[in-house]
Amino acid sequence: MEGLTMGSYGAYVWSCFIMGGLVLLICDWRARSLQRKVYRDIEVRIKALGDEL
Amino acid sequence: MWKFIHKLASPPHFYNLAPKLVPWFTVPGVLLVAYGVYAGLFLAPADYQQGDAFRIIYIHVPSAYLSMMAYMIMAVSAAIGLIWRIKLSHAVAAAAAPLGAWFTFLALATGSIWGRPMWGTWWEWGDPRLTSELIMLFVYFGYMALRAAIDDTAKADKASAVLALVGAVNVPIIHFSVEWWSSLHQGATLLRKDGPAMDPSMLYPLLAMILAFTFLFGALLTRRIRTEVLFRERRTRWVKDMVLSAKGRN
């Protein structure tokens, strides 16, 4: 329990570690979702061009 | 050497190389984070002055260092793009900006959380380190807003590169602010002439976290550059061939 409360600083310390983890996860998710979106847009454009021809 | 750099700067080559590079950054990054978090939270002893609140440095210091490193990557890439007109350089600069902004936010937020129990305040406007770091966050926002406001990629590259270079003057100000002016923020702990002012039991987890964040930043940046390359090259023959051949395989 002492490991979690860290004197009276537990809330400060844990919130920083959680925030650090969240930032890394958000950056990772955003990088993946952007890649998927750009790739999908290109697929749609190529399909549209193919249909026109 | 030049042949290798020239080849690396080729968008199709980088696009195909990037997925092979990412695991080399991610695996050591995750392993080092696991060690750094465990050692930083449970193995390192409490500081004799700050108690357990000092453990915030294991997130704050790596993110503050990355906020400046990302900016330097952005500014140097922008300069290379402006001078030598290497397409990939502008893609690197554009990819580094949002990551730099996230790590600057993290450095400011964790610094603020640390300041509350240590200084008795969340924020101190008179402190040069805090204010200059906040200015860097605004420069990142300005850089991204400028890019988003210009539809022509070539024009956006040039205008944002100039802004990135002008904003680079802030990086040494952030770094040396604690030496140049009186500051609430503590002075350098790691980069000192007489060596780090930390016990090894606290220092090693910190070095592990700095290295871990650097590796993970490398993985994120590589992925972002790959997406940026794909977007910029979306109308080229090689992208069309790649998408069609991938579709043919599925």
In this prediction, residue A52 carries a pLDDT of 58
The pTM of the full predicted model, rounded to 2 decimals, is 0.92
In this prediction, residue A1 carries a pLDDT of 60
pLDDT (tens digit per residue) in B133-156: 999 999 999 999 999 999 999 999
In this prediction, residue A14 carries a pLDDT of 95
In a domain, A12, yes or no: no
- Indicate yes or no: CB of A6 within 8 angstroms of CB of B52: yes
In this prediction, residue B195 carries a pLDDT of 74
B103, B226, B244 member nearest A46 (Cβ):
B244
pLDDT at B30 over 80: yes
- Indicate yes or no: CB of B117 within 8 angstroms of CB of A13: no
- Indicate yes or no: CB of B52 within 8 angstroms of CB of A15: no
In a domain, A35, yes or no: yes
pLDDT (tens digit per residue) in B173-182: 888 887 777 7
In a domain, A48, yes or no: yes
What is the ipTM score, two decimals? Answer: 0.91
Q: What is the percentage of chain B residues whose pLDDT exceeds 70?
A: 98
Write out chain B residues lying below 8 Å of A41, CB-based.
234
In a domain, A11, yes or no: no
In a domain, A38, yes or no: yes
- Indicate yes or no: CB of B46 within 8 angstroms of CB of A45: no
In this prediction, residue B9 carries a pLDDT of 79
Domain residue limits at A47: 23-53
pLDDT at A25 over 80: yes
To the nearest whole Å, the CA of B228 is away from the closest chain A CA by 8
In a domain, A40, yes or no: yes
Pairs across A and B, CB distance < 8 A: 91
Chain B: residue whose CA lies nearest to A20: B59
- Indicate yes or no: CB of A16 within 8 angstroms of CB of B60: yes
- Indicate yes or no: CB of B109 within 8 angstroms of CB of A19: yes
Q: Confidence class of residue B59 from pLDDT cuts 50, 70 and 90?
A: very high
Average pLDDT over residues B2-19: 84
In a domain, A13, yes or no: no
In a domain, A18, yes or no: no
Q: Confidence class of residue B1 from pLDDT cuts 50, 70 and 90?
A: low
Is A41 touching B (CB cutoff 8 A)? yes
Average pLDDT over residues B33-48: 93
> What is the DSSP code string of chain B?
-HHHHHHHTSHHHHHHHHHHHHHHHHHHHHHHHHHHHHIIIIISPPBTTTBGGGGGHHHHHHHHHHHHHHHHHHHHHHHHHHHH--HHHHHHHHHHHHHHHHHHHHHHHHHHHHHHHHHS-S--TT-HHHHHHHHHHHHHHHHHHHHHH--SHHHHHHHHHHHHHHHTTHHHHHHHHHHHS--SS---SSS-TT--SS-HHHHHHHHHHHHHHHHHHHHHHHHHHHHHHHHHTTTSHHHHHHHHHHHHH-
| Position with higher pLDDT, B195 vs B140 | B140
When divided into structural domains, chain A yields a total of 1
